[in-house]
Amino acid sequence: MHARLKGLIVDIFKDANLPEIEPQLREIPFEGQMGLALSNLFQIARVSKPDLEKDELKKYAGTLADLIAEKIRNTGDFEKVEAVKGYVNCFFKPQQFTRELLGRILGDGTDWARMESHGGRVMIEYSQPNTHKAFHIGHVRNAVTGASLVRCYRYAGRDTIAANYYGDIGSHVFKALWYLGKYHPDLKDAPDGVAERGKWLGEIYADAQKKLTDSENLLNQVWEILKPLNKILYNAYGSDEATFGLYTLPFNVRGIARNEEDLFEGRSNNDVIKIVDWMASQAKELRRRAGDIRIEPFGDLDWVNADTLLLNLNQIRSQSDYHQRLNRPIEVLDIANRWKIGDPKLLDLYNETRQWSFDDFKRIYNEIGVEFDVEFKESEVEREGLLIAIDLEKQGIVVDSMGAAIVEIDNQLKKRFGEPMQDKYRVLVLVREDGSSLYGSKDLALAKLKFEEYGIDESIYVVGNEQKFYFQQLFQVLRLMGFPQWERCFHLSYELVMLPGGKISSREGQVVLYDDVISELRDRALSVVKEKNPGLDDEIKVKISEIVAMGALIFGMLRVDTNKVIRFDFDEVLDFDGRSAPYIQYAGARAMSILRKAESEGIETPNDIALSDFNRELLPVEIELVKILNKLPEHIIKVVEDKKPFYLTNYAYDLAVKFSDFYHQCPVLTSEETVRRDRLLLVKAVRINIETSLGLLGIATPDVM
RNA sequence: GCGCCAGUAGCUCAGGGGAUAGAGCAACGGCCUUCUAAGCCGUGGGUCGCAGGUUCGAGACCUGCCUGGCGCGCCA
């Protein structure tokens, strides 16, 4: 209809010698009216008569509208055509439109809007949880966003591979393993049960992090003392360092007195302990000989402060757990080294606990209805990542920088593609100074795998907003590597889920766990079901509450734009009224209820459209309902185009609102027979569209609520 | 300092250059002998962050600024 009207208008323009501007058609925005409006007549008027005054222009646009309306009216295709306020409104014949639409919906059910396959193969990578860490509500946002996008892509006819990429190696794993080895040898006190073990591991990581944060704080404390102390020492000793025994120090500790910025730079905690010891002794020595040395006080750092500093430092050093606390990071490094040489005992611990994480993730995915076709692991691409780095070095794309392998991206873009030098993509480090791999090299290996082994043309990464810059870098490096697909790599970034107290952080122990949220939701849902529908079997009640709880969670995570921060409010998520999944599910349940009752009363519920259907004046609510039923496909197309699943939450909600409106205004079963037949058809179509749109979001529609 | 994202009703958010800027929550007032009241109807509530600009027309587009979040070399 859209295309036909457009063609018609183009012809009219031509006949009237109007400029060749594409006519813009939009839906007539009035309630209870169905049709299309030509909306850019002003533009056409302006182009065709550029010199008109404002008022004249309006008048002219009005004349054009009259002219065009007259011609369209003469075709007889529309029920009514009117020119008003510079628009040409073309009203459809709603009966015919409705028959056609409902015929399609009832004919194909939830597949009615499914699109023909087109476009290349796309991989959507999402979820990417780290093993040995807790699965929190932020992970849920990622998972349900990715999963619903996959469903929409497929529905829209795209060959889509859903991929996960587990963070099963890296410093977080070493930290957890360190803590496990130290405080839970042989995993003796680990609980049984998939969920329990997952939770336990998450707590282990949090505890490890707490201890390491404590160490870090201690280090900072020491640093805050050392910094001014260093300055005092340097000022006192100047360049005459030999006199004071600098050379008795280990080589790597030398020179600290010269540059405070580098005091801790690149040093292990072992070094730090040595530095502290040395500084303390030197300060003491200096204090002893203070009478002999001329001190030039600077800033607020005078001798009084130096004495205080020294006192504080010695106080810290004399704490019984001082060494132990500063040693923790060294122990974690030791774990990393044992990992490198493949210590079998450590590997056993790793494999066992990693599996616990995998099992628990699988359990959660199962609950939230998320599936993957391929599951990558960081551990599997690590080696290949290092090889790629070596290869790139041979090609001159990667260069050495203080032992690390880096890509100077802006340089390379200039060199290889002659692009003007800019300071945009900066530097990406692929391999650490110590030769160990980094996320960058692993992602390159993974991308290569995706392009070459899976033959994809398009690659989508569903990853948090904070990694935006990194992905820009990554895609540029893929370009430098000569992958033509680099242009069709897309970072679908989403904002974080924040708590009233700030960022969710498993490091700081400020987390809202998935399990805690969903169990709260289930409890609440169950009590509401019991209250609203006490007559149901207990088993059914539980089933419904499951569906409602999960719907509320998923909808809560999807209902706002991905680039908007979600401030997680428990009360809001628990609220099943208004703009929520339960509201929409309820509309679906009511629709089903009507159909059920019709059947039990022996009323025929038609599956096919007859020419006699909808042969009456439709009520505005009915027309509104038909209009929104028609809009499902365009919403799915938009989701895919913009990669924003939340459009579909808007659609599902709007549909439910319209249906509620209809429900209250239009009795179905008690209506006169032909009207009843029409409305039963409408109700069926509504139920199908609710199921389809919620289904694409990963939300089920219960028959009863 | 530079970059990305956000700023719309008290709060949380929709708004595809087009007709009178809309929902939910919260507040207040109504509607269950009629297909499920997890619903419906009504009332109040807006300098669309600020200032310019483009346009017949700007909440939307452009420029500058303000506020908040995130990022900018060996975490992912």
Nearest to A86 by CA among A46, A138, A142: A46
Contact between residue A151 and residue A698 where contact means Cβ atoms under 8 Å apart: yes
Residue type, A366: N
Distance A680 CA to B26 C1' (A): 37
**Minimum mean pLDDT range among A194-198, A208-212, A280-284, A554-558:** A280-284
Answer whether residue A254 shows pLDDT above 60: no
**Which DSSP symbol is given to A372?**
-
Contact between residue A18 and residue A47 where contact means Cβ atoms under 8 Å apart: no
Distance A424 CA to B63 C1' (A): 22
**Minimum mean pLDDT range among A68-82, A219-233, A321-335, A586-600:** A219-233
Q: Which nucleotide is nearest to A680 (CA to C1')?
A: B35
Contact between residue A600 and residue A609 where contact means Cβ atoms under 8 Å apart: no
Q: Which nucleotide is nearest to A654 (CA to C1')?
A: B23
Distance A466 CA to B71 C1' (A): 6
Q: If you average pLDDT over residues A240-261, what whole number do you get? A: 43
Burial of A104 per CB tally in 10 Å (0-12, 13-18, 19+): middle
Nearest protein residue, CA measured to C1' of B37: A532
pLDDT tens, residue by residue, A563-590: 999 988 888 889 999 999 999 999 999 9
Which pLDDT score, from 0 to 100, does residue A307 have? 74
Q: How far is CA A638 from CA A146, A448, A465, A643, A651, in A?
A: 16, 29, 21, 8, 11
Structure tokens at A129: 């949880």
Nearest protein residue, CA measured to C1' of B75: A171
Which pLDDT score, from 0 to 100, does residue A233 have? 66
Which pLDDT score, from 0 to 100, does residue A256 have? 42
Q: Which nucleotide is nearest to A427 (CA to C1')?
A: B73
ipTM above 0.95 for this complex: yes
Nearest protein residue, CA measured to C1' of B5: A563
Answer whether residue A517 shows pLDDT above 50: yes
**Minimum mean pLDDT range among A216-220, A243-247, A425-429, A638-642:** A243-247
Beta-bridge partners for A404: A401
Distance A689 CA to B38 C1' (A): 20
| Cα(A525)–Cα(A528) distance, integer angstroms | 5
Burial of A538 per CB tally in 10 Å (0-12, 13-18, 19+): exposed
Contact between residue A170 and residue A354 where contact means Cβ atoms under 8 Å apart: no
| Cα(A166)–Cα(A378) distance, integer angstroms | 6
Q: Which residues are CB-contacts of A26 (< 8 A; sequence separation ≥ 6)? A: A36, A37, A39
Nearest protein residue, CA measured to C1' of B18: A39
Distance A474 CA to B51 C1' (A): 38
Distance A296 CA to B55 C1' (A): 69
Predicted confidence band of residue A257 (pLDDT cuts 50, 70, 90) = very low
pLDDT tens, residue by residue, A655-692: 999 999 999 999 999 999 999 999 999 999 999 999 99
Q: If you average pLDDT over residues A128-133, what whole number do you get? A: 96
Distance A670 CA to B34 C1' (A): 8
Note the Cα A703 to chain centre separation in Å.
31
**Which DSSP symbol is given to A256?**
G
Which pLDDT score, from 0 to 100, does residue A388 have? 98
Structure tokens at A416: 């290889």
Structure tokens at A572: 């809001």
More confident residue, A279 or A543: A543
Which pLDDT score, from 0 to 100, does residue A38 have? 93
Beta-bridge partners for A84: A87
CA dihedral A59, A63, A64, A67 (to 10 degrees): 170
Q: Which nucleotide is nearest to A651 (CA to C1')?
A: B14
Answer whether residue A239 shows pLDDT above 50: no
| Cα(A556)–Cα(A348) distance, integer angstroms | 40
Burial of A17 per CB tally in 10 Å (0-12, 13-18, 19+): exposed
Which pLDDT score, from 0 to 100, does residue A264 have? 52
Q: Which nucleotide is nearest to A463 (CA to C1')?
A: B76
Distance A624 CA to B46 C1' (A): 28
Indicate the pTM of the whole model: 0.91
Answer whether residue A262 shows pLDDT above 70: no
DSSP-derived secondary structure for A327-360: HHHHHHHHHHHHHHTT-HHHHHHHHHHHHHHHHH
Contact between residue A588 and residue A548 where contact means Cβ atoms under 8 Å apart: no
More confident residue, A361 or A310: A361
| Cα(A460)–Cα(A157) distance, integer angstroms | 16
Q: If you average pLDDT over residues A643-655, what whole number do you get? A: 97
Answer whether residue A629 shows pLDDT above 70: yes
Predicted confidence band of residue A234 (pLDDT cuts 50, 70, 90) = low
Q: Tokens 């939009």 map to which residue?
A: A26
User: Coil, strand, or helix at residue A320?
Assistant: coil
Which pLDDT score, from 0 to 100, does residue A221 have? 81
Answer whether residue A409 shows pLDDT above 80: yes
pLDDT tens, residue by residue, A587-609: 999 999 999 999 999 999 999 99
Answer whether residue A280 shows pLDDT above 80: no
Which pLDDT score, from 0 to 100, does residue A248 have? 44
Contact between residue A359 and residue A196 where contact means Cβ atoms under 8 Å apart: no
Q: Tokens 């691409």 map to which residue?
A: A381
Give whichever of A64-73, A74-83, A183-192, A651-660 has the largest mean pLDDT: A651-660
Structure tokens at A598: 């019709």
Contact between residue A423 and residue A410 where contact means Cβ atoms under 8 Å apart: yes
Q: Which nucleotide is nearest to A498 (CA to C1')?
A: B69
Residue type, A269: N
Which pLDDT score, from 0 to 100, does residue A120 have? 93
Mean pLDDT of chain A: 89
Q: If you average pLDDT over residues A228-250, what whole number do you get? A: 54
Nucleotides in B strand less than 7 A from protein CB: 2-6, 12-16, 18-19, 23-26, 34-41, 55-57, 69-76
Q: Tokens 């529309």 map to which residue?
A: A78
Contact between residue A467 and residue A495 where contact means Cβ atoms under 8 Å apart: no
Which pLDDT score, from 0 to 100, does residue A231 have? 67
User: Coil, strand, or helix at residue A667?
Assistant: coil
Distance A661 CA to B42 C1' (A): 15
More confident residue, A29 or A582: A582
Distance A143 CA to B70 C1' (A): 21
Buried/exposed A622-654: b ≥16 CB within 10 Å, e otherwise? bbbbbbbbbebeebbbbbbeebbbbbbbebbbb
Phi, psi (deg, nearest 5) at residue A606: -65, 150
Q: Which nucleotide is nearest to A46 (CA to C1')?
A: B56
**Which DSSP symbol is given to A309?**
H
User: Coil, strand, or helix at residue A654?
Assistant: helix
| Cα(A678)–Cα(A523) distance, integer angstroms | 40
Distance A559 CA to B50 C1' (A): 30
Residue type, A97: F
Nearest to A163 by CA among A135, A191, A124, A133: A124
Answer whether residue A206 shows pLDDT above 50: yes
pLDDT tens, residue by residue, A155-167: 999 999 999 999 9
Answer whether residue A223 shows pLDDT above 70: yes
User: Coil, strand, or helix at residue A702?
Assistant: coil
First to last CA, chain A: 39
Q: If you average pLDDT over residues A632-639, what whole number do you get? A: 96
More confident residue, A191 or A323: A191
Which pLDDT score, from 0 to 100, does residue A241 have? 46
Q: If you average pLDDT over residues A488-514, what whole number do you get? A: 81
Which pLDDT score, from 0 to 100, does residue A333 have? 87
Q: Which nucleotide is nearest to A44 (CA to C1')?
A: B56
Predicted confidence band of residue A270 (pLDDT cuts 50, 70, 90) = low
Buried/exposed A401-431: b ≥16 CB within 10 Å, e otherwise? eeebbbbbbbebbeeeeeeeeeeebeebbbb
Answer whether residue A247 shows pLDDT above 60: no
Answer whether residue A58 shows pLDDT above 90: no
Predicted confidence band of residue A290 (pLDDT cuts 50, 70, 90) = low
Buried/exposed A250-275: b ≥16 CB within 10 Å, e otherwise? eeebeebbeebeebbeebebebbbbb
Note the Cα A2 to chain centre separation in Å.
35
Nearest to A687 by CA among A600, A623, A594, A592: A592
Contact between residue A694 and residue A652 where contact means Cβ atoms under 8 Å apart: yes
Q: If you average pLDDT over residues A214-239, what whole number do you get? A: 72
Total Cβ atoms within 10 A of residue A118:
9
Which pLDDT score, from 0 to 100, does residue A222 have? 80
Predicted confidence band of residue A303 (pLDDT cuts 50, 70, 90) = low
Per DSSP (E only), the strands in A92-128 are: 121-125
Which pLDDT score, from 0 to 100, does residue A509 have? 59
